[in-house]
Amino acid sequence: MTNVTELRVALTVANFDEALAFYREALGLEQVADWSSEEGRVVLLEAGRATLELLDEAQAEMVDAIEAGRRVSGAVRLALEVADSERTARQLVAAGAEHVAPPVTTPWGDRNARVRTPDGMQLTLFTAE
């Protein structure tokens, strides 16, 4: 039994307005709280169910090779399940993301696309097939 009831990723960004627009408007995450104050800005965006996927270096290298053709991600990469990974990737690129690699069908049966957000975070967009 676990005492953890939520996994929250806290992302510090240089351009808050750009990041907020990207994640809220382009990616469609729902804003559920705004705790901004005179000291700084913070909003909470809902992203559905959260899991923590731990990979060793060998597995991370293999996943990068499958999804992007080479080792490209850092220690943190967000993987988001979406209805249509290819369409979502195109929408995010139009909203300022960088195309990292073309969509691929993975050995585990998902259709994955990889983009880099304007703040530098790599996203794997996956659709279960």
pLDDT tens digits, 6-56: 889 999 999 999 999 999 999 999 999 999 999 999 999 999 999 889 899
Total count of residues recorded for the chain: 129
d(CA 123, CA 38): 31
Q: What is the pTM of this model?
A: 0.87
- 89, 95 in Cβ contact below 8 A? no
